[in-house]
Amino acid sequence: MSCELVISGWYASDTPRTYVTAGDEVIRGPGFRSLWWRSLDQYVRPDNVLIVDSASPVKADDAAHTTTRFQRLELSRNPGHAQTTTSHYCGYMASVLLGLEYALQNGVDMVVYVEQDALVYGDHIIARTKRALQRSDLVVGSDSRQIQQSYFAVTQRGLRRFLAALHGIRYSDKQVAPEHKFMFAATRWLPSLALELAVYRPGPLRPARMRLFWLLATLARGYEVLPFGYGRRRPIDFRDEVFYFQHGTAAEISQYRSLTGF
């Protein structure tokens, strides 16, 4: 089973980062691109891919790695990482919002987001994603106290409402993390006052505020959790029939190559 549209972002740089990263350094550069495309083409099999480039100083030669139809949309400036951005939206959220708008305008039945450092596995990953979407218009990953967004999917029916809810959040990505924006935008009845709990305010009460936000957002959730792992969660069971993961270490990437033969 194939996917009509995949959206993703792109940013790579040779300059030192000012935010915390995880996984092997190769996943953040062009050297990972061949494996990313093979993973996507083998298991997701998209008809079309939209890549939102956050004015990346280092480019990826995508045409060298795939025959899948793709488009690149390049921003005029880099919005930065959520931890350090001075814009309302960071680069990740820019790729999400522009990609979802693109999906809406093209009338696709389902759009899947696959982050540039994520790898997928399993011939049935799209079939399982579609089954999960029968219960909700948005499916995301889960990591105990936080949702995950390196692989997620939205139905055509859910696109307009989800986009409107995301744009309705007045706080920047530095003030409210993208994961928490997703949770709030997908809720059914939470008042805007509940989002105040997720606003980054350092201090001894922050853990308690975040636990309360998680509880409220989970009770009112309008999203479904993917029926497979792993995203950032560890350990990865490479014997699973279907899975995805990001922030791969050198050992995990090597194990994935051994499993797939890529």
- Please give the Cα distance from 223 to 185 (Å, whole number): 10
Question: Tokens 């996917």 identify what position?
Answer: 3
On the CB side of 211, how many CA atoms lie within 13 Å of its CA? 5
- Please give the Cα distance from 24 to 195 (Å, whole number): 34
Residue 142: predicted pLDDT = 84
Give per-residue pLDDT as tens, 144-202: 667 999 999 999 999 999 999 999 999 999 999 999 999 999 998 888 889 999 999 99
178 within domain boundaries: no
How many domains does one find in the chain?
1
CB count in 10 Å sphere of residue 145 = 10
- Please give the Cα distance from 52 to 71 (Å, whole number): 9
241 within domain boundaries: yes
pTM of full prediction above 0.75: yes
Percent of the chain past pLDDT 70, that is, above it, reads 97
Q: What is the CATH number of the domain that holds 165?
A: 3.90.550
93 within domain boundaries: yes
Sequence-ordered strand ranges (E) for the chain: 3-10, 46-53, 69-74, 110-114, 119-121, 138-142, 147-155, 224-225, 230-231, 243-245
- Please give the Cα distance from 108 to 164 (Å, whole number): 18
* Sheet with strand 69-74: strands edge to edge: 69-74, 46-53, 3-10, 110-114, 147-155, 138-142, 224-225
Backbone angles phi, psi at 142, to 5 degrees: -135, 145
Predicted confidence band of residue 102 (pLDDT cuts 50, 70, 90): very high
- Please give the Cα distance from 22 to 10 (Å, whole number): 17
Contact 154/5 with Cβ under 8 angstroms? no
- Please give the Cα distance from 22 to 248 (Å, whole number): 8
Q: What is the mean pLDDT of the chain?
A: 93
Q: Which domain holds residue 164?
A: 3-170+224-260
What is the average per-residue pLDDT within 19-33? 82
Contact 133/139 with Cβ under 8 angstroms? yes
Residue 22: predicted pLDDT = 74
148 within domain boundaries: yes
- Please give the Cα distance from 29 to 32 (Å, whole number): 6
36 within domain boundaries: yes
Residue 255: predicted pLDDT = 97
